[in-house]
Amino acid sequence: MAEELIVQKGTREEAYQSLLPQIKALVQGEPDVIANCANIAAALRQTFNFWWVGFYFVSDESELVLGPFQGDIACTRIQKGKGVCGTAWSEKKTIVVEDVEKFPGHIACSAASKSEIVVPILKEGNVIAVLDIDSDVLNDFSEIDKIYLEELALLVSEFIKA
């Protein structure tokens, strides 16, 4: 497809409904994980203007390592069970944080980040990566984000090798 993203105005749900098919088309037939994750991070940030969007990949059984992202520099490695990312990995579930200051052990990569959502990407029951999104707005993520980002995580799991 042409490298052009149409950003839908309207509700966040309408924006996801427009964005997801475009992302599917964008990654279709492209096997390179870095290229696809880089474009997905960019598409999410371009659409929603989130503070930070990126992937962490499972590096070994104890650590995540930073993958493609959009935003300021961030921590390179996160231990399993630590921070929001490491917790989403160990609990194998999406974590929505309304206020990062109230999440015990939150890893602050930027003082501007106020709320966060982390969605695990699973392959054959194992977490292979997480998608991390930070917002500079408090309580910016809801069930809508969870639903559509989990759908996106399924798509990502199809092109990431276990």
Give contact residues for ligand SME (rule: CB under 6 A).
52, 74-75, 78, 83-85, 106-107, 109, 113, 116, 132, 134
> Would you say 89 or 148 has its CB closer to ligand SME?
89
Residue nearest to ligand SME (CB): 83
Contact 133, 50 (CB under 8 A): yes
> Would you say 23 or 88 has its CB closer to ligand SME?
88
- Kindly state the tokens that stand for 104: 């015990």
Instruction: List own/partner pairs for 7-15 with CB under 8 A and 24 or more apart.
Output: 7/46, 7/47, 8/47, 12/48, 12/142, 12/144, 12/145, 13/144, 13/148, 15/47, 15/48
Q: Report the nearest approach of ligand SME to the CB of residue 3 (Å).
A: 26
Q: Report the nearest approach of ligand SME to the CB of residue 14 (Å).
A: 27
> Would you say 27 or 54 has its CB closer to ligand SME?
54
C-beta atoms surrounding 56 within 10 Å:
27
> Would you say 61 or 124 has its CB closer to ligand SME?
61
